Amino acid sequence: MACILIIDDDDQFRTMLRMTLERAGYETVEARDGAEGLECYQAHPVDVVITDIVMPGKEGLETIQELWRDHPAVKIIAISGGGQKIEPHMALACAQAFGAQYAFSKPVDRAALLDAIQHLLGREPGMTE
């Protein structure tokens, strides 16, 4: 069973995402910010990382850069609702430039997210484990 690390400071969003992924047959690990996410990945490398971009502490772009630098094969999906100083489309474009393979705006289209995960895992969209 594939395992996915969810990095997001919004407890409700993390819970919604965890429930969506677990219903789709994935195991999940959760982190509240980039620093905790990097620690989780070091302790338990996962198949896919989903990270928010705008977070307190270590934000998503820095997290993506560090993951990519230390683990070049890592599969990353960036998600952003934007922030006070940055529009979501700009944050997501930066995330892809830094190594995220997919980028989604909040609110996330769950079907598109699940298809992206399937693609990153080398499966046809819509397949289950």
| Boundaries of domain holding 52 | 3-109
126 is a domain residue = no
Domain tally for the chain?
1
CATH number, domain with residue 33? 3.40.50.2300
With CA atoms as reference, report the closest residue to 3 among 50, 47, 64, 51.
47
Q: Measure CA 114 to chain center.
A: 12
* Non-local CB neighbours of 124 within 8 Å, separated by 6+ positions: 118
Place of tokens 């080398």: 122
7 within some domain: yes
Whether residue 116 is contained in a domain is answered as no
The larger pLDDT score, comparing residue 66 to residue 87, is at 66
pTM reported for the whole predicted model: 0.91
* pLDDT band, very low/low/confident/very high, at 128 (cuts 50, 70, 90): very low
In a domain, 118, yes or no: no
**What does the pLDDT look like over 10-46, one tens digit per residue?**
999 999 999 999 999 999 999 999 999 999 999 999 9
In a domain, 82, yes or no: yes
The structure tokens listed for 106 are 């909040």
Cα distance from N-terminal residue to C-terminal residue, the chain: 7
